[in-house]
Structure 1
Amino acid sequence: MLVLGAYRPGEANPPLDNLGATVRRSGTEITVTPLADTDVAELAADLLGTSPADDLLDDITRRAKGVPLFVTALVHGGLHRSSAVPVIVRDVVLDRLRTLGDTERALLETVAVAGQAASGEVLRAICDAPTALKRLITEGLVTEHTAGRSLSYQVAHPLYAEVAYAEMTIAERRALHAAVIAAVEGANNNDVLTLAPHYREAGDLVDPGRAARIMALAGRRALAMRATDEAIRYLRAAAEVANPREIPGLTDGIGRAHQAVGRFDEAIQAWQEGIEAADRHGVPAAAAKLRFRLALLNAERQDSLDARRDLASVAEAIRDDYPETVVHQFVFVMRHDQEADLRTATAHMGKLAEDESRPVTARAVGYLGKTITAMLDSEFTDALAYGEKAFGYAAQCDPEQAFQAQRISVVLSPLHALTGNVRGAVDYALEAVNNKHSVEIPTHASYSRYVLSCARYLTGDIAAAITEIDTAMELAAQLPRYQARTLAQRAFLRAEQGALTEAAADLARARQVCQVPDLGVLEVIRLAESTIALHSEAEPGEQEFRYFSLFCDPYAAMIRPVFTPGYAESALRAFGTEATLAVALADRFTANRTGDKDLLADAVARLEAMGAPLFAAQAKLDLADTGAVLEALAVFERAGAVPWVNRARQVARSLGVRIRAATSRTTGPLSTRESDVVRLLADGLSNADIAGRLFLSQRTVETHLRNSYAKLGLTSRVALARWGAENLSSTSAVSTNVHRALDGPGFRR
């Protein structure tokens, strides 16, 4: 006979504990551990009938802490969020709390209110009860942690802390928060992050001026770390008790936090509130800065002539006090073919570099201006030196000004690429992407990802380049200009993978989205057009190459000539002798025109040394040497550059080299997760079904599919499904729709 029994140890039930000890002597005790996070996700999906939203799953995982009953209650509670804690959870927790004595209950409430501030010193100051604390630890209600020589405590389960806190009256909570503040400040008066949550909840039991200062500091630190919701909570709370003249500065931070996550209407509302407060209380400088914020966001969203004029007017009025406004003017000028205006803007920026009395923010802006001026004059060596100086000054800026480093990084990345340092180009692109402090304007995050996508392409990692551009596209959801740029870049990358139908569709969407003139966006669109034309053997039509394009979109300007062979040599020579990547590429086309094999071989060697394997491999095809062609073929296969694979095979065959048909494993087997995705695709599941089955987002599924296309050298969903079912190679024909898509506005065959 099998007898099963279950009990929870440590619940102040000695008879049950004694029975458990007796049974253990002759039976087997199995400890039921909490569910792992993956199990919580699976249980939540079963209960909901679909994969839970990421924020809901994160909330459930954090609060349930692996307890199945709590997971179930929170899942159902998540569908009806009117109740903070589900009733069944509250009842279970209260049953446990009612077994505690008054001192133990008071101590548990103190730990729950103190949160991260619950150190041994704080508990002794508020509720010095070591015997009660020991019992709470023994019974598993409180956990004890060491941090160096100090001890800290927390309620063992998040929901126990929530219920204990919720059962207190508001007056009781405020009194405990005020007591925690007094205890913490007795040990460390400047521990802002520990003090801020308690000042926010202590109400009128603390000095309002001190509360406003602490919460404002905490909000700005949260904003600097992109913890936007936390920043808004603290800054809003600070504004409620602050001196009226301080409100505009607080609403500035609130608006920037909303802007950073794409809540543009909320940002505008916050800044308008701040302008009203500044006008009402006589703070004109603060009002001017907020008007600049509004004008900049309006120009980013609309980019109309009126919006640009308004931005220029507002920026001109405050540029002496806020030098970063000049950078924004420079960005807008270079979009619209105004070289004279660009030189004027960068010259004004450059003057800031010479004034040693200026703060580091102004010096960073100044050297960025000198960088652009040197680039205008094709003096790329000087430009690099100035750019590195600008970055050095930007690195010294306060976190709130850290967007300067991001802006300078996205200039240095293509500058390094153009001068033959592709590794440096990737590093600076990563620096921009990984800048955790930039919340200045919404396009920064999207454009940084775009720059990283371009740098990844130069290294030959097309799949990674597409992953980055997909992220850029998500970040540009409300920014039409950047949607167009990212769509055009993805069209280019898909064309390089041989997915010409999909590339043509992206290109058509990019043209549709791009309703206002922007030279940078047009340059990327032209790059996509040229690449699709080259790979579909269509006539490229007349092309225009101008040196000024380098400032509108440096990466597109340096890459596009490669895909228009008839124009490449002259276009690349226009960059000058210090642009060593452009020189090497130009030498390739010169060598082909003149038949100079030595120059071609030298160009290949230089391109490889620079870290540009795809460009080097393309040049190797021109060498028409068996060994070089096979090396190029291997590079193209690793990159998943299907059209170039096909060219390499054709060249190899023309040299008498017999190469087996493309296998299904061009670069080795798929990863485990990629194999899972492709297997379900072969079973006929949609992307949404695959995502649900594997507990992934649809975007992640799409990324795995794209990587699989690239690794297997396949270009269609049907071919990939066939490979998944049969594990055999398959080639898919290019749709004739590509040629129709090339007939869009701005492209002639």
Structure 2
Amino acid sequence: MQTPAVGRHEEIARLRAAVVAAASGAGRFVLVSGTAGIGKSWLAEHVGTLAAEAGLLIVRGNAVDDAGMPPLWPWRRAARELPELAAALDTVTEPGGGPAGQRFRMFSEVADVLVAAAAPSGLLLVLEDLHWSDPTSLALLTHVATETPRTKVLIVATAREPMGETLLAHQPDWLRLPHFQSLSVPGLSEPEVRYWLEQRGLTPDLAQRVHERTGGTPLLVRLVIDSDMGTGDDPLLSVPGIRRLILAQLDRLDTADVEILSAAAVLGERIDTELLAQVYGAIPPSEPGAPRDQTGDPVARALDAATAAGIVRRFADATTGFTHALVRDAVYADLAPSRRAACHRAAAEALAARGGPDSAVAGAIATHWRQASGCADSPSGRQWSRRAARSARASAAYAEAIRFGQWAIDAAGASASDAERAELLIELARDEFAAGWVATSLDHCVEAGACAEQADRPDLLAEAGLVVQGVTTPTVMTQLDLLCGKALRLLEPGEHPDLIARILAQRALSAADRGAGVRARELSDQAMRAAERSTDPDVVLDAIHARHLSLAAVDFLDERTALATRAIEIAADAEQPLARLWGYVWTADAALQRGDLPGFDNALDHIELLADRRRLPIARWHLLRLRATRAALIGDFPAALDFDTAAHELAVGIGDYSLAGLHHAFRGMYAVIVGHIDRAELTAALASLAFAPKITIAQLFAPLLHAMAGDLEEARALFAPFRLLPDTLEIGPRWAGTVYSVGLVAELLDDAETADRVFRAFGGREHHYAADGTGALICLGSIARIRADNARVAGRLDAAVDLYHQGLAMDTEIGARPFVALGHLGLARTLLARGDLSAAREVADRAAAAFRRLEMPYRLRSADALLTDITAATRTADPLTRREREVHDLVATGMTNREIANRLVLSERTVETHVRNILAKLAVTNRTELTRGPH
């Protein structure tokens, strides 16, 4: 018998309201939660009835209590009723974007499919038993829920309380959604239990005892009602536990039926009758020598008997299964360990013989083998765990791939060779790195390297050294260098040319990241020469990437441009969209350094095509970041900040916090341009530095931000270790940005000595523009202007004037309006220092007017302050006012007071007053002396 709708009127009303809201275009996400047996599935079925009455399309999926459940299983079950959803789930197999990008692209496709399917009349997506769900399915649910508040999509999910850590980790994200509702289902009250008893024709006097012992849980209430209560005994007193209460239902079945149900419990909550028949036929009777009834269909008879006893039932999707997980769990727990292991072994063999894609069966088979053998040596367990990991990896379900990979290592045991163990560890490390577990991945790489050395397999040693990439932490780079160095010494060039090229490229990247520019260029050159013999485009592209990074400075602009062009060509032929993206990003950066804005915009057009056609989130991120750079360069600051915010939100959505951290770097450089940072921005930016890579340019941000905020003593203390950098830093990645940052702090602290070092370091590069060379964070206009700023602080005033004029011409040519204004401000300061007051005033006026047009109030204040200084300096140099100077000059020509009054349209008395003031200020006794020489 089904649990009746006793005491569920409020829950049904809320679900009906959610259906109506979704049908009208206001999406809802309802999480139905409660303890086992509370009636969550009944409510999920009931909302399906309500949705059908409202004309909504209904798709259902569910997780199962089976460690072999494939990743995204609830979604793939739902996809049976929506083929477009199945295609979207397979989007992750398309190349490009890296692990995070591939997963994000798939998530976006799934959300788009559901929204499109809901557009006509609405859609109900039911996902049951999320407490058993895999992490990837929950992450996908979070993404879809975020995308569907203003659509006709109703999501109803069920989960058991108390919730596990995996499910709880997503709860904060769900609670922040405006359309999320938590529907916690309580136990029945005592009056509701009494009503149920009355409906069954039973005495209501038992209501209090039944309610006390079951807590009002409908499943347990039903079990009590279905027991033989007519005997007058209290079944809850005679049965010492819920498990025994549940198992009491099996007493109605004969031994053969119980054996079949026990085998079914091994297979899971839902029952595959064909598989159950195979498993039952493969295991010996529980009582040795006992004959089995071979007539008819024993599995069908057992399931019919179990259905009559209320142990199994037919579900809405036409499948058969245990009435509740508690029932299945109790039957499974009652199995003897040896019997349980035999059933698992039979299930694994039956599933393997049946065949099918690994995405559907590998996880289940691996789980059965693990349950059959524990962690002992098991060749079959190792084989299927490895296949299950490979299948999970193909779906970007890296948490599941890691679990299966660890199982494969456990199953290998002591019988595995060193080479086999190294291979398993490398596969596990790759999945861990893809999941962001860098430290754990590195540990397994080191362990794999040791096994590879023992096995005399330098190729595996090299593979171990190539797993972790792009991590600049010194300890990580040291470990990787050791692995790669050993592999390089042991690899035979004739046998492993591709591995040697990749190792050299990896070491070049590592050297470039730690600032060893000369060494990086040597290694990348070797990698390029090694890759020339390769037919693998990935190897060539790896070498090009390393070479480009090692040349990331304006000194090597032509070679970098050629590398970018070659990368684009190779990637197009090899269908490598991510490599094409890098080629266009490099092209855009080189165009910025040349001041070629049409070339820059053309590269952006290609990046946008990649983002749209390939749905690469990393391409969209670069597009937004470069648009922010472009907008800031020409002074469209609102657009720049909007693009930066969109890029930051996308990075957070992808889950790549290395990209998200660049948001604070961009805001810091924006503050440099506009000349202001407030305390809230300062606090947020300084906090972000804790998560930034420990590289010099990132560490320089602390003194820079403090200096901008006026904390000069703190800034000086933090800046002290960096003052000699311009003399010692090798040319390479981030060289220009690092040296520029040193010069900027030196200017803010009025550090002439350090500014002079920066001035000399930039020598010969003033005909280029300031972009990093590794993917522009921001462009700061002409290097000529930057060099002029440092020349001015260093006291090289004549050189500064020449450089400012050069920079003004360059920045004007590309329409870099903020930097034209900053150039005028710097030039005016220099002219003031040289005493050229008239020219200084004219240039400062231009700067002030430009800052006013660009709505840069803090820079306008600086220009106004400079104009005040120029006025004060003018007064010091000439004590006469402008009118007094006019009168003085006319007196010097011999004109009388009356003639002067007529000329200047003044009264004669006013002229007399001016003459007296002039005589006093110039310390002369009569007007005759004014005609003798200049005063």
AA aligned opposite 2:781: P
Picking from 780, 788, 807, the partner of 1:560 is 780
Other structure's SS at 2:780 match: helix
The answer for the alignment partner of 1:329 in structure 2 is: 507
The equivalences for 1:153-168 within 5 A come to 165-166=332-333, 168=335
- CA separation in 2, counterparts of 1:502 and 1:563? 31
The answer for the alignment partner of 2:445 in structure 1 is: 271
Distance 1:66 1:158, change over 3 A: farther
AA aligned opposite 1:424: H
Other structure's SS at 2:781 match: helix
Picking from 621, 624, 628, the partner of 1:457 is 628
Percent identity of paired positions between Structure 1 and Structure 2: 13
Distance 1:411 1:489, change over 3 A: farther
Other structure's SS at 1:10 match: coil
- CA separation in 2, counterparts of 1:346 and 1:647? 49
The answer for the alignment partner of 1:184 in structure 2 is: 351
The answer for the alignment partner of 2:910 in structure 1 is: none
The answer for the alignment partner of 2:526 in structure 1 is: 348
Picking from 651, 667, 678, the partner of 2:853 is 651
Other structure's SS at 1:559 match: coil
Q: Given that residues 492 and 503 in structure 1 are in contact (C-alpha distance below 8 angstroms), is that contact kept between their aligned partners in structure 2?
A: no
Picking from 395, 417, 427, the partner of 1:244 is 417
Picking from 369, 376, 398, the partner of 1:202 is 369
The answer for the alignment partner of 1:10 in structure 2 is: 2
The answer for the alignment partner of 1:230 in structure 2 is: 400
Superposed displacement of residue 111, structure 1: 6.1
The answer for the alignment partner of 1:422 in structure 2 is: 604
- CA separation in 2, counterparts of 1:534 and 1:154? 75
Superposed displacement of residue 228, structure 1: 2.9
1:398-444 Cα shifts (integer Å, max 9, x gaps):
xxxxxxx7577445424246332224345668999958xxxxxxxxx
Other structure's SS at 1:561 match: coil
Q: Given that residues 494 and 503 in structure 1 are in contact (C-alpha distance below 8 angstroms), is that contact kept between their aligned partners in structure 2?
A: no
- CA separation in 2, counterparts of 1:91 and 1:28? 17
Superposed displacement of residue 735, structure 1: 13
1:327-359 Cα shifts (integer Å, max 9, x gaps):
322322333565554443343333455436x33
**1:388 equivalenced with 2:568 (yes/no):** yes
**1:489 equivalenced with 2:666 (yes/no):** yes
Q: Given that residues 365 and 384 in structure 2 are in contact (C-alpha distance below 8 angstroms), is that contact kept between their aligned partners in structure 1?
A: no
Over alpha carbons, which structure has the higher Rg?
A: 2
* Structure 2 unaligned spans of 5+: 19-27, 36-126, 134-154, 169-186, 188-212, 224-245, 281-296, 592-598, 632-638, 698-731, 790-804, 824-847, 863-935
What is the TM-score of this pair, normalised by structure 1?
Answer: 0.53
AA aligned opposite 1:313: G
Q: Given that residues 113 and 177 in structure 1 are in contact (C-alpha distance below 8 angstroms), is that contact kept between their aligned partners in structure 2?
A: yes
- CA separation in 1, counterparts of 2:509 and 2:613? 19
Other structure's SS at 2:541 match: helix
- CA separation in 2, counterparts of 1:477 and 1:735? 39
The equivalences for 1:675-686 within 5 A come to none
Distance 1:367 1:593, change over 3 A: closer
* Structure 1 unaligned spans of 5+: 1-8, 21-26, 45-57, 80-85, 146-150, 397-404, 436-444, 570-588, 605-614, 623-645, 654-712, 714-730, 737-749
Other structure's SS at 2:558 match: coil
1:476-522 Cα shifts (integer Å, max 9, x gaps):
9999xx99866433423566797544454566667887765466556
The answer for the alignment partner of 1:313 in structure 2 is: 485
1:135-188 Cα shifts (integer Å, max 9, x gaps):
86999955465xxxxx86666866666566555454444334333333333332
Distance 1:187 1:344, change over 3 A: same
- CA separation in 1, counterparts of 2:10 and 2:660? 62
Distance 1:533 1:486, change over 3 A: farther
1:615-664 Cα shifts (integer Å, max 9, x gaps):
69999999xxxxxxxxxxxxxxxxxxxxxxx98893289xxxxxxxxxxx
1:220-268 Cα shifts (integer Å, max 9, x gaps):
3434544333122211211223333311111122233334444444334
The answer to which of 166-175 and 300-309 deviates more is: 300-309
**1:593 equivalenced with 2:773 (yes/no):** no
AA aligned opposite 1:350: M
AA aligned opposite 2:429: G
- CA separation in 1, counterparts of 2:165 and 2:467? 42
Distance 1:311 1:291, change over 3 A: closer
Superposed displacement of residue 471, structure 1: 7.9
Other structure's SS at 1:251 match: helix
**1:174 equivalenced with 2:174 (yes/no):** no
AA aligned opposite 1:236: Q
1:347-390 Cα shifts (integer Å, max 9, x gaps):
3333455436x334324335546867998352666444311244
Superposed displacement of residue 452, structure 1: 6.3
- CA separation in 2, counterparts of 1:10 and 1:225? 38
Q: Given that residues 108 and 155 in structure 1 are in contact (C-alpha distance below 8 angstroms), is that contact kept between their aligned partners in structure 2?
A: no
AA aligned opposite 2:404: Y
Superposed displacement of residue 212, structure 1: 1.6
Other structure's SS at 2:382 match: helix
The answer for the alignment partner of 1:300 in structure 2 is: 472
Picking from 366, 383, 389, the partner of 1:213 is 383
Other structure's SS at 1:199 match: helix
**1:122 equivalenced with 2:293 (yes/no):** no
- CA separation in 2, counterparts of 1:469 and 1:29? 39
The answer to which of 207-216 and 134-143 deviates more is: 134-143
Distance 1:61 1:188, change over 3 A: closer
AA aligned opposite 1:455: L
The equivalences for 1:660-671 within 5 A come to none
- CA separation in 1, counterparts of 2:628 and 2:644? 6
Give the root-mean-square deviation of aligned CA atoms: 6.5
The answer for the alignment partner of 1:365 in structure 2 is: 542
Distance 1:368 1:494, change over 3 A: same
